[in-house]
Structure 1
Amino acid sequence: MNVKHSPQNTERWDDWGWGGPKNINKEGMFYERLDGSRNGTLALAKSFFFPTEDLWFGGVAVERLNRRSLQYRVVSRLVQVCVFRWAGRACSRASSRWCRYNWEYATVSVAPGEAMILVLLVVYLCCPSVMLVAVPVVGDFLLVAARGLLLIVVFVVVVEVVLLSDVSQDAGVSLNQVTCLGISTQRSTFTTWHKDTGKTFHNFITWKDIRADGLVRYWNNSYKMMVTMRLVWALQHVESLKEAASQGHAMFGTVDTWLLYRLTAGRLHVTDVSNASATGMYDPFTMDWGSWALQLFNIPGDMLPKVCDTAANFGVVDPRILGTALAIRCSMADQAASLFGLCCFQEGDVKVTMGTGTFINLNTGKTPHASVAGLYPLVGWRYKDEIVYVAEGASNDTGSLVKWAQQVGFVNTPAESAEQALSVKDSDGVFFVPAFNGLQAPINDYQAAAGFIGLKPTTSKHHMVRAILESLAFRVVQLYDTLQQEAGCDCSLIRVDGGVSHNDFVCQLLADLIEIKVERPTSTEMSVLGVGFLAGLYSGLNYIFI
């Protein structure tokens, strides 16, 4: 595989940089062959399937809606999928309370009253002035009531509108010209569903869910972030899941498994090694589900997905979703994908992702790393006969701290934090403990609490902001020192990505503290690039231009 770099597009510290991808963005990436043909791979960002308030409504004035905006296209598709199709079925089944829109693998139901709410929502978004004059109170009601309804159809809408329209338009191609699809997802977040109906037993239980804390303390604190104990909690507390599991009718899956199940019309119940190894139930030393874990925690083995290579034949997207049977050739956990996207292919390569949390990953080659300080061994990827292992350390609070600083009024926007930190020469002796969710490796104190230390009359808001940002870099240094002590890591550079890596102050401070080069690509969405690389490799695209 020949990868072309573009050094002129690199932002750098210590007068050295890595030529990162110049066109990658959170909507996806199209990779052209060097011979000029238009076939390529399409990388699917995890954000597609988890719309947030900011994505759909936050900061967007409804009155300024236009025909090319994301909101307009989402609303248009909602009209087609949810109103016309469901209303037609409702008319044909006037005696039935429910109106159904069926696929082979899923049934989405909506009551006529809910359909009316959706109609009103569409009118409100497209013609706000008419709606607000006619029914002054409807606007606020709809924005609250419709969110739940939107989640019912967001899978269809986002795939068809965002993926089909945005990515293909940005690339200047149609989906018929796309070779394959790659998926990058959040790890350690899971759901369960009924094998026969596809109906979920509960919402996603995320990697930060703390309802299983009692079980974690009872068994082993090292399982804090793993799926295992939260799945045990769900099996004990969700009655419908407990009953289905006892009858062999329950299916378990992390985000990637659920997406593949839905995208392939229920034909696949699989995961890849990078996602499986982050559950705590997969043994990276034997490369199989750990029978010891399943027996110890009484987890039915038949509910677990089949584990596949990271780049493999994951079937095709059901043509009713995108209008074409698009091949899926890669599924990968976000941290492993960003490691690959940052070209950390050699043993000893290190990358740091600073997003909601901080994750430092060391490529340990063919040998999994056994830690006693809070690091944990994971499988980075398995491609054909090659297995690459990763040693990882985490700090749960990074981007969440910057967001908190904004919420309490320290900064107006996250981008201002670097300016405020640089406006003072130091933190005036103030330190911040970044422990909203405890302190992970190497301290491993899950009861630690956040707080400022050293406040005095001369302390200003800018000093406090600087202390917060400094704490983020200090935690990375702690994790890096642990890698050095445990794994003998002695690299000459660190590659960084993630939203917080946009902060120049944090990156420069990190380079100063560890006294090695810190590289940041122009775009920081490296997990998307990673799955694009692997999907393209598996599909025979030997030349990828970035």
Structure 2
Amino acid sequence: MTGPVLAVDQGTSGTKALVVCPVRGVVGSASAPVRPRHLPGGRVEVDPRELLRSVVDAGRAALAAAGEPVVAVGLANQGETVLAWDPATGEPLTDAIVWQDRRAEELCTGLEPHAEALRKITGLPLDPYFAAPKMAWIRRHLTGRGVVTTSDVWLVHRLTGAFVTDAATAGRTQLLDLDTVGWSGPALDAFGLADERLPEVVDADTRVGTTTAFGPELPLTGLLVDQQAALLAQDVTAPGTAKCTYGTGAFLLAHAGPAPRRSSHGLVGCVAWRLSGRTDYCLDGQVFTAASAVRWLTDLGVISGAEDIDAVGSGVADAGGVTFVPALAGLAAPWWRGDLRGSVTGLGLDTTAGHLVHALCDGIAAQVAELADAAAADLGAPLTTLRVDGGLTRSALLMQAQADLLQIPVEVSALPDVTALGVGAVARLGLDPSLRVAEAVPRWKPSAVYEPRCGAEAAAGRRERFRTAVAALLDATP
């Protein structure tokens, strides 16, 4: 049995660090904020130094809270956030362009003739959400110097000196061949990145080097992109099971087994993880605005924060005829229309803050339900349960709406910070190759289970109203 590990989840709005003991569970935790800048034109940037500082600060604070040594470190990352940097000095050459950023929209439009070929190679639709369009944009508009990579490569280099990325994170670039799990020459050519120096693609449970950033010298033995780390921590390790994380956005991932799978229904086919040379795959669907839509309502003064969702929403029985499509950063899967704006329809003089809150919960839940339907269609069997995590799962109103619209049970994780727990499990696997995945992953147990309360006919009506509102947006923005 190995000792505790330090598990660090570097996220969009902050970094969470846990000290995880295989026997006693979490024995220390800490967090550090990250403040991305939301700029005109759909641009979202963050100072890379702030990302690194948050990793070091949160990790050191978690170790101090635990008051005991650890034997290894694992690092989870944002996935599609990119920057250019100098590999000789480690210094950033640009700000980090965050996964939400839409500045590469025009570049993607110009690459549309390559879209289907890229989807067949990489499993990903052509969209500015992914890393390669942002990388190409940096090369065309900011700098040709240094290397241009996802943020994990830079963070790992600053921590250990290594130049690597794990297979699942590489799969978020649109430069990875889904079949060979290696960099694709045709994809690199399409984006004009053929001459780039690219990191080595490694297994998630690889000992990539050592770091003294947190105090004593420690091996870095686990690397995994955030949503796949959450998938692993919730023990979604067999085909037909799925999880959804409700954070800044909402992200549904369904395990697809050991063979690569391309979606026929608008989802992303990607690597779930590669452990000890074995690759597992998943289907992935995204809602760009979840907690960020709640913050938008907060900024308007409709509620005072996410903690008010249930208090304000419980004042009314339903959405009162209001339909909210929270496409505040565009629509992701299965529509892939990042250019669309959100809509609120059905307003009246009798509309209250409670109705708006209800409509937002229905809007988020309806988008996730569309993703679940797409996953079921791709997998050839309906999902039987959905395991969920993230800050918004504290809202009973949202979780009940999710169960109602899916017409299946929704199981809320009893374990907070599942992304960190997932990469902590990977770090243990990297430290001790004799461990099996089942031995490293925390035992799944829900803190609450939401069963559908409305009938199938009523749920279908609510979903049809949402689809009608989405169709109106699609018709209005060709």
Tell me if TM exceeds 0.5.
yes
How far apart are the structure 2 equivalents of 1:421 and 1:369? 40
Q: In the alignment, which residue of structure 2 is the partner of 1:522?
A: 414
Q: Post-superposition shift, 1:172?
A: 3.1
Query: Alignment partner for residue 260 of structure 2, among 361, 368, 383?
Result: 368
Name the aligned partner's letter for residue 63 of structure 2: S
Contact map agreement 2:332 2:338 (CA 8 A) in 1: yes
2:421 maps to 1:534: no
2:401 maps to 1:509: yes
Query: Alignment partner for residue 35 of structure 2, among 49, 52, 58?
Result: 52
How far apart are the structure 1 equivalents of 2:322 and 2:219? 54
2:353 maps to 1:456: no
Q: How does 1:323-342 map to 2 (within 5 A)?
A: 323-342=215-234
Name the aligned partner's letter for residue 505 of structure 1: L
Q: In the alignment, which residue of structure 2 is the partner of 1:358?
A: 250
Q: How does 1:38-437 map to 2 (within 5 A)?
A: 48=32, 51-52=34-35, 158=54, 161-164=57-60, 166-173=61-68, 177-220=69-112, 222-224=125-127, 225-238=129-142, 241-242=143-144, 244=145, 250-264=146-160, 267-317=161-211, 319=212, 321-437=213-329
Q: How does 1:494-505 map to 2 (within 5 A)?
A: 494-505=386-397
2:21 maps to 1:32: yes
Q: Which runs of 4+ in 1 moved over 4 A?
A: 40-45, 150-161, 541-546
Q: Which has the higher helix share?
A: 1
Task: Mark the CA change 1:405 to 1:316 in structure 2 (over 3 Å): closer, same or farther.
Answer: same
Q: Post-superposition shift, 1:337?
A: 0.3
Q: In the alignment, which residue of structure 2 is the partner of 1:79?
A: none
Contact map agreement 1:42 1:181 (CA 8 A) in 2: no
Q: Post-superposition shift, 1:30?
A: 2.8
Q: In the alignment, which residue of structure 1 is the partner of 2:453?
A: none
Query: Between Structure 1 and Structure 2, how many residues are aligned?
Result: 407
After superposition, the C-alpha distances for 1:77-106 in whole angstroms (9 at most, x for unaligned) are xxxxxxxxxxxxxxxxxxxxxxxxxxxxxx
Q: Post-superposition shift, 1:419?
A: 1.9
Task: Give the secondary structure class of the aligned counterpart of 1:316.
Answer: strand
Contact map agreement 1:44 1:183 (CA 8 A) in 2: no
After superposition, the C-alpha distances for 1:449-471 in whole angstroms (9 at most, x for unaligned) are 21211111221121112111111
Return 5+ residue gaps in structure 1 as ranges. Answer: 3-24, 55-149, 245-249
Name the aligned partner's letter for residue 237 of structure 1: H
Q: Post-superposition shift, 1:214?
A: 0.7
Task: Mark the CA change 1:158 to 1:469 in structure 2 (over 3 Å): closer, same or farther.
Answer: closer
Name the aligned partner's letter for residue 300 of structure 1: A
The CA RMSD over aligned residues, in Å, is 2.8
Return 5+ residue gaps in structure 2 as ranges. Answer: 3-13, 38-45, 116-124, 444-478
How far apart are the structure 2 equivalents of 1:421 and 1:205? 35
How much identity, in percent, do the aligned residues show?
28
Task: Mark the CA change 1:33 to 1:293 in structure 2 (over 3 Å): closer, same or farther.
Answer: closer
Q: Which has the higher strand share?
A: 2
After superposition, the C-alpha distances for 1:115-159 in whole angstroms (9 at most, x for unaligned) are xxxxxxxxxxxxxxxxxxxxxxxxxxxxxxxxxxx9797577655
Q: In the alignment, which residue of structure 1 is the partner of 2:41?
A: none
Task: Give the secondary structure class of the aligned counterpart of 1:379.
Answer: strand
